[in-house]
Every structure is written in C-alpha cells, then in structure tokens.
C-alpha cells in the first residue's frame, strides 16, 4: 500500500534516492501489482491442492526471485543503497525459498 499511496517513501528507504515524477508513477504501478498478487493469493488460500494455487505459488516464486535479483543489482551494479535494501533482499530471498519448499511439498 505504501508504494501505491506514497511511492517516494519506500523507494527512498530501499534505494536511498528520491523519485522523480515518472518514477513515482512506476512505483504506483508496482503497488497495484503487489495488491493484485496479494489479493489473488489470499483468495486461493483454501485451494492448496489445486492447479491454480500451484500457478500462484510459481508466480510468487518468480516475483520474489526477480525482486531480490533487481535489488541486488541496484546495490552492486548501480550503487544505490538505502537502509532497508538488504533486509528487503533477505525477505524476498526467504519468500522465494519458502515458495520452492511449498512447490516441492505439493509434488510429494
């Protein structure tokens, strides 16, 4: 919700830089995407063994892996660094690992 309502604040905490007007728009788009993903996962929470739930977990795996990779690149490749960057990288990496564990558990 923070990305949707006030994108400059979480971006500043993550990357240590301010947003210009187009960046704020991109931050809001990311906020809407996160809200949509969260809603889809919440609505599928009782369908743990369905193909749709497997698709959602796979999508979340892709999302969390991608976000972690982009944020690592932002720090190591571009040189951006905010106080929340590495904790958020760790959070997304942990969520990706959790998604893998969930997908492996469903195969058994």
Residue 10: count of CB within 10 angstroms of its CB: 21
DSSP 8-state secondary structure symbol assigned to residue 77 = T
14 against 102, higher pLDDT: 102
Q: What ranges in 16-84 are assigned the alpha helix state H? A: 21-43, 51-76
Which tens digit of pLDDT belongs to each residue from 12-69? 787 777 766 555 666 777 888 888 988 988 888 888 788 888 899 999 999 999 999 9
End-to-end CA distance of the chain: give it in Å, rounded: 36
For the chain, domain boundaries: 2-107
Integer Rg of the chain from CA: 15
Residue 68: count of CB within 10 angstroms of its CB: 19
| pLDDT number for residue 107 | 60
């Amino acid at each position: 919700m923070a990305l949707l309502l006030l994108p400059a604040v979480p971006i500043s905490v993550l990357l240590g830089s301010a947003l210009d007007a187009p960046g704020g728009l991109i931050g809001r788009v990311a906020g809407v995407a996160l809200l949509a993903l969260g809603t889809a996962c919440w609505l599928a929470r009782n369908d743990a063994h369905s193909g749709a739930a497997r698709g959602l977990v796979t999508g979340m795996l892709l999302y969390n892996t991608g976000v972690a990779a982009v944020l690592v690149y932002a720090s190591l490749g571009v040189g951006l660094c905010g106080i929340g960057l590495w904790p958020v990288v760790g959070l997304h990496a942990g969520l990706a690992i959790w998604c893998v564990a969930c997908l492996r558990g469903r195969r058994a």
